[in-house]
Amino acid sequence: MQKLIEVRNLNIAYGSPAGWTNVVQGVSFEIARGEAFGLVGESGCGKSTVAYRLLGYGTVNSLVQTGEVLFDGTDLLKLDAKSLRRMRGNRIALVPQNPTTSLSPGMRVGSQIREMIATHKALPPGMSMQARIAELFALVGLPDVGHRYPHELSGGQQQRVTIAMAVACNPDLLVLDEPTTGLDVTTQRQIIQLLGDLRSRIGMAMLYVTHDLALLAQIADRVGVMYAGQLVEVAPCDQLLAAPAHPYSRGLIASIPTVAGTERQARGLRGVLRRDQMSTGCKFEPRCDFASAACRSTPQVLEPVAETRTVACMKWRESAVPETPAVKPRLDAKATAKPERLLSIADLDLTYRKPGLFDKLLGRTSPSVVRDIDLELRAGEVVALVGESGSGKSTIARAISGRLPPRAGLISLDGGLLDPALKSRSVEQLRQIQYIFQNPDVSLNPRRRIRAILERPLDHFGIKADVKTLEGVLENVGLHAGYLDRFPEQLSGGERQRIAIARALLVNPKLLICDEILSALDVSVQARIVELLRSLKEKHAVAMLFISHDLAVVQQLADRVAVLYRGELMQLAETETLLAAPLHPYTEMLLEAAPGLSKDHYVSRPPAMPASKPVPGIGCPLAGRCPRQVGSVCAETRPPVQATGSGFIRCHVPVEKLATRAAPPVEKRPAAVV
């Protein structure tokens, strides 16, 4: 195939007052016309830096030391600003990571696309601007939303707009910088589906930058794995996933949680990417399981090992040997005697708006964000709360923790009723429930040392502690006493999250609320935090309410799963049962959307009755989106609760019918390759 773009020996350094740091070293790859090339690696490995250079773009403090980026024969790095401007958007276009911040908030999305076409004079002959914009919207599966402002669109729709904008000039190359990272699983899959579809229709090449190998499996032809600024392996996607040759690729793949890989207990990556701890030889040596003395001193370069495959590791033969998956039988901790109930929630109803005086007089009620939640947690049990964003997962957690007094419903902990307001709860109750937040960057006070952060709760709850206590808890979460005198900004994201976990554990809580605590972290770090949580669960018998949008993570940790959609519990079931037989149509949708480690040709099932909108507060919220809607009854009446073996589902369709029809799509999916 003909080369479209070729990167040759690219070296990029970032300048800082301390001097130059080499961020990208000797990266070379090429993308053929119409090919989708994936670039994958942990955060900080330089993948975005490389991607932006394909647009001839670099930040002010970056310097290209050597290298060429040949696009159709011209070196982009030598072009002047004017020719670059002509090139960007027109022939090479970018789909940015976060559509919310990359669309101009004060401008209608139609005008933003018009701007793109007008700048490059890329209107196809004999076509009006309006028609072209409508055509672009149709191309990305949107109705004509040109007159809307970005904030009127959902995250998925916004990303579709940025994609429409990127393909507006029919570019030869599309650079995608983590385009689905902020999106829900189902939306993510639709975007991936859309991109695959666009590629076959327009025939453009793609550079897809991501940290998520499972996603690349769905879309990329070839994948380059980057580590510490170097490409360590380039291989066709299916080959890489089936038999990774480089130890790093191997670890990266092992770290990915997939719904199918329940029994897989392969070894993930240890350590984190630290640029200050590089050996002169192989960059990966400090974290590599196959490392020898020679690795430390001999720099590794990409060597072809097969026709279409290159690896930068001299021990690739050893590491490519498929490891016999050590089948660790999951310890069934389920004791015959059921432990006592710890937390129970009954008829919980939440709203964000406080009713005003007029509303009270007129008897108006504001819409509920969360309705009719009944949930219970036993001591030492992990219950996962799963749903798309906006489904009310965190809202429930806020109510349990006392930050949002519920409109109706009772929450009791350990037999005692919890007061709705935080202020009237007893100190003891506050201690027993600990909350871990999503983003450790903002849940630790940046101006306090770790020691002060950890000592404060002890002080507050009057728990006697000596030096050993802090060291002990740090050890528990896999850190050491050296961290006590550091500030949060000196820690990596994963380390910060560990500190947040340590802070919660320090006061011996009975219930941990983990609010999306993994979503801000790298895959390899995620895998280790999950491992940590699992060991804590066994050691301390602490119950957890684990909130997540990712079913794959949940199945590694949770005993039971509660599926939430638009503020209503759709299903509650034991994890294994839920994965084996999802029953509820929404759970099924979620499971199908979760990407596996092989191409699964996912096609979202069309809703049965897209026009039927649920009656607010009464009908099933899934009506109109549900592929198995039985009729207008779904939209108009409240679905009944049907008991299943280990829990319940809330659906109009009888359980037996759901069970029989669930079979075909599951069989169609090939099992994930280990």
Partner 1 sequence: MSTITSSPAKRFAGFDAARWRATPGPFKVGAIILLAHALFAIIGVFWTPYGFAEMGAGLPLSGASWQHPMGLDQIGRDVFSRFMHGAHIVLLLAFAGTILGMVAGTALGLLSGYIGGWFDEITQRIVEAMISIPFLALALVMIIAAGPALAGEPVLIVFVVGLVYAPRIARIARAAAMEIATREYVAVAELRGEGTWSIVWREILPNAANVLLVEFSLRLSYAPILIGALGFLGFGIRPPTPEWGLMISENRNLLIASPVTVFGPGLGLASLVIGFNLFTDGLSRMLGQRAVAGA
Site for partner 1 in 144-173 (CB under 8 A): none
Nearer to partner 1, 166 or 450 (CB): 450
- Can residue 354 be called a binding residue for partner 1 (CB under 8 A)? no
Q: Which stretch binds partner 1 (CB under 8 A): 195-203, 253-261, 335-343, 448-456?
A: 448-456
Contacting residue, 425, 510, 537, 549, with partner 1 by CB under 8 A: 425
Nearer to partner 1, 25 or 157 (CB): 25
Crossing angle (nearest 10°) for helices 523-540 and 247-255: 50
Task: Check residue 72 and give left, alpha or beta (phi > 0: left; psi -120 to 50: alpha).
Answer: left
Query: Which two three-digit tokens encode residue 208?
Result: 């897809």
404, β-bridge pairs: none
Site for partner 1 in 41-100 (CB under 8 A): 43-44
Helices then strands, each counted (H, E), the chain:
26, 24
DSSP 3-state of 248: helix
Contacting residue, 422, 608, 633, 655, with partner 1 by CB under 8 A: 422
Tell me which DSSP letter residue 2 carries. Answer: -
Pairing of strands 433-436, 309-311: unpaired
Residue 596, CA atoms < 13 Å, CB-side half-sphere: 19
Q: Which stretch binds partner 1 (CB under 8 A): 233-241, 258-266, 454-462, 466-474?
A: 454-462
The Cα–Cα gap between 653 and 640 comes to 9
78, β-bridge pairs: none
Q: By rule CB under 8 A, what count of residues binds partner 1? A: 43
Q: Which stretch binds partner 1 (CB under 8 A): 238-246, 305-313, 353-361, 395-403?
A: 395-403
DSSP 3-state of 15: strand
- Can residue 276 be called a binding residue for partner 1 (CB under 8 A)? yes
- Can residue 460 be called a binding residue for partner 1 (CB under 8 A)? yes
DSSP for 348-372, please give it: EEE-SSPP-HHHHHHT--PPPSEEE
Using an 8 Å Cβ cutoff, are 332 and 576 in contact? no
Contacting residue, 90, 187, 394, 401, with partner 1 by CB under 8 A: 401
Of 157, 256, 169, 264, which Cα lies nearest the Cα of 216?
A: 256
Q: Which stretch binds partner 1 (CB under 8 A): 26-34, 172-180, 396-404, 613-621?
A: 396-404
Element housing 258 (H / E): none
- Can residue 486 be called a binding residue for partner 1 (CB under 8 A)? yes
Contacting residue, 442, 463, 603, 618, with partner 1 by CB under 8 A: 442
- Can residue 587 be called a binding residue for partner 1 (CB under 8 A)? no
- Can residue 107 be called a binding residue for partner 1 (CB under 8 A)? no
- Can residue 491 be called a binding residue for partner 1 (CB under 8 A)? yes
Element housing 629 (H / E): none
- Can residue 487 be called a binding residue for partner 1 (CB under 8 A)? yes
- Can residue 492 be called a binding residue for partner 1 (CB under 8 A)? yes
Contacting residue, 21, 102, 298, 604, with partner 1 by CB under 8 A: 21
Nearer to partner 1, 156 or 229 (CB): 229
The Cα–Cα gap between 371 and 375 comes to 12
- Can residue 374 be called a binding residue for partner 1 (CB under 8 A)? no
Nearer to partner 1, 456 or 605 (CB): 456
Taking the complex as a whole, how short is the minimal distance between the CB of residue 48 and partner 1, in angstroms?
Answer: 11
- Can residue 275 be called a binding residue for partner 1 (CB under 8 A)? yes
Query: Which two three-digit tokens encode residue 201?
Result: 């229709």
Pairing of strands 309-311, 341-350: unpaired
DSSP 3-state of 13: strand
By CB under 8 A, name the binding residues for partner 1: 17-18, 21, 23, 43-44, 275-276, 401-403, 422, 425, 427, 430, 433-435, 437, 439, 441-449, 456-457, 460-461, 485-493, 503
